Amino acid sequence: MHKKSVEIREGSWEALGPEATAIRRVVFIEEQCVPVEEEWDGRDSACRHFLALQDGIPVGTARLLRDAHIGRVAVLNEARGCGIGVALMQAAIEAARRDGHPRVELAAQTHALAFYERLGFEAVGGEFMDAGIAHRNMQLPLQD
Asked if the structure places residue 107 within a domain, the reply is: no
Q: Which domain holds residue 26?
A: 6-101
143 or 109, higher pLDDT: 109
Cβ-proximal residues to 74 (8 Å cutoff; 6+ apart), any chain:
23, 24, 26, 27, 28, 60, 61, 62
Q: Does any domain span residue 138?
A: no
**Could you read off the pLDDT of 54-69 as tens digits, one per residue?**
999 999 999 999 999 9
pLDDT at position 3 over 90: no
Any domain includes 131: no
- Provide the residue type at 16 as one letter: L
Has residue 18 been placed in a domain?
Answer: yes
For residue 117, give the nearest of 98, 131, 136, 102 by alpha carbon.
136
Q: What is this structure's pTM? A: 0.94
What's the CA gap between 118 and 83, in Å, rounded?
12
Cα dist from 100 to 50, 94, 97, 104, 138, whole Å: 18, 10, 5, 11, 19
* Position 22 in a domain: yes
pLDDT in tens, 42-55: 999 999 999 999 99
- Number of domains making up the chain: 1
CATH code, domain carrying 62 = 3.40.630.30
Does residue 120 lie in a domain region?
Answer: no
- pLDDT value at 112 more than 60: yes
Please report whether residue 121 resides in a domain.
no
Answer whether residue 137 is part of any domain: no
